[in-house]
Amino acid sequence: MISLTNRLLADEIQWMQRSAPILGNQASPYCLDTPLPPKARVLSIKDCNLNKLNRMMAAKRDHLLGIHYETLWQYLFSLFPDLSVLFCNLQVQDEKKTQGEFDLIYRSLKTGQVFHRELAIKFYLGIPVMEPTNKISTQTPSTPWSQWVGPGLNDRLDKKAYHLIQHQIALSKTPAAQHILNQNNIAEVTPEILFQGYLFYPAAGDCPPPCYASPDHQKGYWVMLSDLQPWLSALTRTFQFFCLPRPLWIARYSTNSHGDGLSMKTLYHQVQHQFLACPHPILVSACTKNRHYSLESFRFFIVPDEWPKAAQEACK
């Protein structure tokens, strides 16, 4: 039987290979529309040595979610038969000052082409505006990138996207990076960005997707604590609720334990109590249960009632 830790890794691997990015090729020629390299097949759990992957994770000094995500992709690329991983997290320094880092450099064994892939996973909550607009004319309404903020309000979609597109992906063009690449007999790299994650839409209020969002991006909701019970009461199905710590944010949540889920009333009181100590948004998985396990139907953030006002300020 697969361990709980290995089962989570297996779920994350499947999610990463099958989930559309937040932003695709319309946002930038560097942004990928699909996560897998061309003609690569989706790897199954049978293709992976999850015990080895678990040891790789344990050996990491930094256990931030972004590092965890990068490590998963670096491991997956080592399994694709037509690809060769050349470098992971290769730092570029100029006069002892770090200019940046290549997340992943790999070579196609069929064509010999070398790629530099930047990897990012983010979770953004959309903040409604009076009139959704778009600086670049499109046929469908959209919300500016600046209206999508991280739950902690210290991150924004526009800032992250511009940093990826204008800075991180241009690293190979710097003299210091070219020197390192030439030392390793790499004449040229093709840059690409994989920007995955979730976009959470307000349960109340109109907020179209961000400009050039991938049509099939992963979605969720966010709701103020005071609106939680009316919102959930309007749903036509009964769910079990699980508050997700950050290490469980990537994959669709599932559990074999039916007794651990919270009712709507218990969820409300637990979050209310938690906000008194730490008024930080909480990610919740709404699960339906069958005979053997509970599986996530959708996910949502519960935010303090003061959070939307602070979020509007963070968008400026």
- pLDDT tens for 159-202 read 999 999 999 999 999 999 999 999 999 999 999 999 999 999 99
Q: Picking from 82-91, 96-105, 132-141, which range would have the lowest pLDDT averaged per residue?
A: 132-141
Whole-number pLDDT of residue 259? 64
First to last CA, the chain: 51
Average pLDDT over residues 204-226: 96
Helix (H, G, I), strand (E, B) or coil at 272: helix
Query: pTM for this structure?
Result: 0.94
- pLDDT tens for 236-261 read 888 999 999 999 999 999 988 756 79
Asked if 288 and 294 count as a contact pair (C-beta separation under 8 A), the reply is yes
CA distances from 224 to 247, 304, 309 (A): 23, 6, 11
Whole-number pLDDT of residue 131? 61
Whole-number pLDDT of residue 199? 99
Asked if 225 and 271 count as a contact pair (C-beta separation under 8 A), the reply is yes
Going by the DSSP 8-state scheme, the letter that residue 143 receives in this structure is B
* Residue of 62 and 145 predicted with greater confidence: 145
Average pLDDT over residues 54-64: 87
Tokens standing for residue 59: 């050996």
* The residue to which tokens 């968008």 are assigned: 315
Listed as own residue / partner, the contacts of 9-13 with beta carbons closer than 8 Å and 24 or more positions apart are 9/48, 9/50, 9/53, 9/54, 9/57, 9/72, 10/45, 10/48, 10/50, 11/251, 11/252, 11/254, 12/72, 12/250, 12/251, 13/43, 13/45, 13/48, 13/72, 13/76
Handedness of CA 88, 38, 165, 124 (dihedral sign): negative
Burial class of residue 290 in the structure, from the number of CB atoms within 10 Å of its CB (0-12 exposed, 13-18 middle, 19+ buried): exposed
Distance CA 82, CA 254 (A): 33
Average pLDDT over residues 122-132: 86
Asked whether residue 235 carries a pLDDT value surpassing 80, the answer given is yes
Asked whether residue 135 carries a pLDDT value surpassing 60, the answer given is no
Whole-number pLDDT of residue 315? 97
Q: How many CB atoms lie within 10 A of CB 91?
A: 11
Asked whether residue 130 carries a pLDDT value surpassing 80, the answer given is no
Whole-number pLDDT of residue 1? 45
